[in-house]
Amino acid sequence: MELGSKYFIKQPVFKKIIIINIIIFLLPLVSNTFLFLFNFNQISLIKYFDLSPEFSKVLMSPWTIVSYSLFHIDFFHIFWNMFILYVVSDYLLSFLNTKQFLEIYFFGAIAGGLFFIFSYNIFPVFENAFTPLIGSSAAVYSLLIFACSYYPNTSVSLILFNVKLKHIGLFYVLMSLIQIPFNNSGGNIAHLGGALYGFYYSNNFNSFNSFFDTISDYLDKFSFKSNNKKNNQKVIDEILDKISKSGYESLTKYEKDLLFKNSDKS
């Protein structure tokens, strides 16, 4: 087990995500096999983590806006998602750091989930449709479209011919769009939400200020203010000590002004 954990820690972030997805995919299958062998009722863990299109259920289970992206229906569902993730990520991590990669991936999943929820509550065709959403496709699409829109004119070889990344991205987006009426409507809508976030991130990459950055900046400012307050109080204490020893007239103009400002604040 120690060897396994060491192996996991050394892996790049995209391989860690792939490993986690595979483990989560296999665990229910393995556990249900043992439940079957011992004649116990099989259980479905997915229902606690899939994303419902109903606002009330999402509010009761807010973690599902992310957790849905960690579960898959069958082998081919997880295989293609992890295959695309593997192909795209190895290229992206040549210029993205881990935090940026995770932002694109998980915020893409959230964007896909929100797209799914709002679409099912806006468009009349989905009235009384409560099919839940699972799969990492929205997160994977977010990374894919980020790459395709950040380096749109980069060409990649597809066996017989070369094609630009922008054309690959356009193909995937159009395929998801035109398949909505025919197959996996919720999933294809989520793809578009993830793709939209990836496109947004790529177009604001150099000036992007994510939720994590905003929190970090706030904490830095708070820490700076706290340190300033502590340093200021130390100077005031020294001034008061000087007064007790030598009297008020021994203070410099700066020290008198600082003492006056501090007494005014309090």
- pLDDT, position 199: 95
Query: CA 206, 207, 209: angle at the middle one, nearest 5?
Result: 120
Which of 208, 230, 254 lies at the terminal end of a domain, its last residue? 208
**77 pLDDT exceeds 90?**
yes
Do 150 and 253 fall into the same domain? no
**Alpha-helical regions (H) of 97-210:** 98-122, 137-150, 165-179, 185-203
The total number of residues written for the chain in this structure: 266
Q: How confident is the model at residue 115 (pLDDT cuts 50, 70, 90)?
A: very high
Do 146 and 253 fall into the same domain? no
pLDDT: is 224 or 50 the higher one? 50
What domain range is 26 assigned to?
2-208
- pLDDT, position 245: 67
3-state DSSP assignment of residue 184: coil
- pLDDT, position 3: 59
Tens digit of each residue's pLDDT (9 = 90 or more) over 152-188: 998 888 777 889 999 999 999 999 999 999 989 999 9
CA distance 148 to 252: 64
Do 142 and 257 fall into the same domain? no
Residues 6 or more apart whose Cβ sits within 8 Å of residue 65: 51, 58, 109, 110, 113, 114
- Secondary-structure percent of the chain, ordered helix, strand, coil, rounded to 5: 75, 5, 20
- pLDDT, position 234: 73
Tens digit of each residue's pLDDT (9 = 90 or more) over 135-146: 999 999 999 999
Do 141 and 226 fall into the same domain? no
256's tokens: 């008198």
pLDDT: is 69 or 243 the higher one? 69
156: β partners = 163
Percentage with pLDDT > 70 across the chain: 80
105's tokens: 């991936």
3-state DSSP assignment of residue 93: coil
Among 37-46, 194-203, 238-247, name the one with the lowest average pLDDT: 238-247
188's tokens: 């294809």
**62 pLDDT exceeds 90?**
yes
* Tokens 């005014």, residue located: 264
Read off the CATH number of the domain in which 27 is found: 1.20.1540.10
Q: Kindly report the average pLDDT of the chain as a whole number.
A: 85
Instruction: Please indicate, yes or no, whether the overall pTM of this predicted structure exceeds 0.85.
Output: no
**224 pLDDT exceeds 70?**
no
Do 49 and 161 fall into the same domain? yes
Strands 161-164 and 155-158, sheet pairing: antiparallel
Give CA 136 to chain center in angstroms.
12
CB 187 within 8 A of CB 137: yes
